[in-house]
């Protein structure tokens, strides 16, 4: 293959789950601009339709990734209508920030159901289709919290670490069929979900200063790493997590020694 076409997705069908807003919306636009035929799936059907209209793509009905049967039906419907499904990206996630001793069962169940069970449902449904057609790329969204944690993030971090292990398991099982499975690990990204943190100047600045780049990411800065993982540029990349975190996980501590 010519290296000039490594990121060209022309002729491929992509389902972007969570594509109605935030990182998912940015990824949807980026994948479409690189030639893919995109179906936007989201819990908010109106938001998905609005994004699909912008890119000249299609939108599915409202999709709750906690519902395994609904996920299977949505992806199978795309494969049936389009002939195959080449790319699946799953971005949704939720967080309940509470100390372990204050966490309730309902809090725990909510976070695990979306982040871990939902990701599993997508991996299973996409894997079943792609192993059958002997090819495809799946990207699940993890986080820096798969590797590092702070108070109040225990359950969220647990689920994001679990996604990495799901990806590794999927890569091991689907690889013989030509299917690649990877995770993307964003750092702090400016999205509607992080707006409460942005509203607190001290909190916002603390997160900005933790990264090597001394700033938050924009949602569109997650497009390039995702494009890499779903494209032929990553044809020999599977079972891994790509951190797009501005150096957050590379830095040990916040103190600069004298003379440095």
Active site residues: 156
DSSP alpha helix (H) spans, 175-249: 195-198, 201-210, 223-230
The candidate with the shortest Cα–Cα distance to 113, out of 127, 92, 98, is: 92
The candidate with the shortest Cα–Cα distance to 89, out of 44, 141, 134, is: 141
CA 249 to chain centre: 18
First to last CA, the chain: 46
User: Taking a C-beta distance cutoff of 8 angstroms, is the pair 11, 85 a contact?
Assistant: no
Pairing label, strands 13-17, 37-41: parallel
Q: What angle do CA 43, 46, 47 make, to 5 degrees?
A: 70
Q: Please give the helix or strand (H or E) that residue 185 lies within, else none.
A: strand 179-186
Q: Please give the helix or strand (H or E) that residue 38 lies within, else none.
A: strand 37-41
Per the document, the length of the chain is 260
């Amino acid at each position: 293959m010519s290296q000039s076409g490594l990121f060209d997705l022309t002729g491929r069908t992509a389902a972007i789950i969570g594509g109605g807003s935030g990182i998912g919306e940015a990824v949807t636009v980026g994948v479409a601009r690189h030639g893919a035929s995109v179906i936007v799936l989201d819990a908010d059907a109106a938001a998905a339709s609005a994004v699909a209209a912008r890119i000249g793509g299609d939108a599915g009905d409202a999709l709750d990734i906690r519902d395994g049967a609904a996920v299977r039906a949505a992806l199978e419907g795309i494969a049936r209508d389009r002939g195959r499904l080449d790319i699946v990206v799953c971005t949704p996630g939720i967080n309940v920030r509470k100390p372990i001793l204050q966490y309730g069962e309902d809090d725990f169940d909510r976070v695990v159901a979306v982040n871990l069970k939902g990701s599993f449902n997508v991996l299973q449904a996409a894997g079943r289709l792609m192993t059958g057609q002997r090819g495809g790329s799946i990207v699940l969204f993890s986080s820096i919290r798969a590797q590092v944690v702070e108070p109040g993030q225990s359950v969220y971090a647990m689920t994001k670490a679990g996604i990495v292990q799901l990806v590794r398991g999927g890569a091991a099982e689907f690889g013989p069929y030509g299917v690649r499975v990877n995770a993307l690990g964003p750092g702090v990204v400016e999205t509607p979900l992080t707006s409460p943190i942005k509203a607190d100047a001290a909190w916002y600045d603390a997160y900005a200063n933790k990264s090597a780049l001394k700033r938050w990411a924009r949602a569109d800065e997650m497009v390039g790493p995702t494009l890499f993982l779903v494209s032929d540029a990553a044809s020999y990349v599977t079972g891994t997590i790509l951190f797009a975190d501005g150096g957050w996980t590379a830095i040990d501590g916040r103190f600069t020694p004298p003379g440095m």
